[in-house]
Structure 1
């Protein structure tokens, strides 16, 4: 999804999911979803928002966050 297709009046506020911070950033006229581990000071992970939409991209990021949490939990066992 490029900015030409993106409604720029939409306010995209950061959200929290299971302690992780999820936000957006425009990079080279492309909207990206970025997420940050609770123990880090910057969003290490990102994924472009495609024509499938922001909701679908957030759903995918939540899936990846859930997977990361499972991996972290398995390391501590």
Structure 2
């Protein structure tokens, strides 16, 4: 989980760059949900568009199907 947090923290600033679509944001928020489920859900619900092959329901399913137990959780 440490790597996921580092990756999300490294990626979040880039999401405000010109040309970054909401589709990319959805993937980052899905990763964020690994350690901050409620925060990620709020962000996902705020998206207006999704990447090809993805949807709000797909992202929310992915977030909610996780049971919160990880082998390398802190």
Query: TM-score by structure 2 length?
Result: 0.29
Greater strand fraction, Structure 1 or Structure 2: 1
Which protein has greater RCO, CA pairs closer than 8 Å, 6+ apart? Answer: 2
The two structures have a TM-score, normalised by structure 1, of: 0.29
Q: Which has the larger radius of gyration?
A: 1
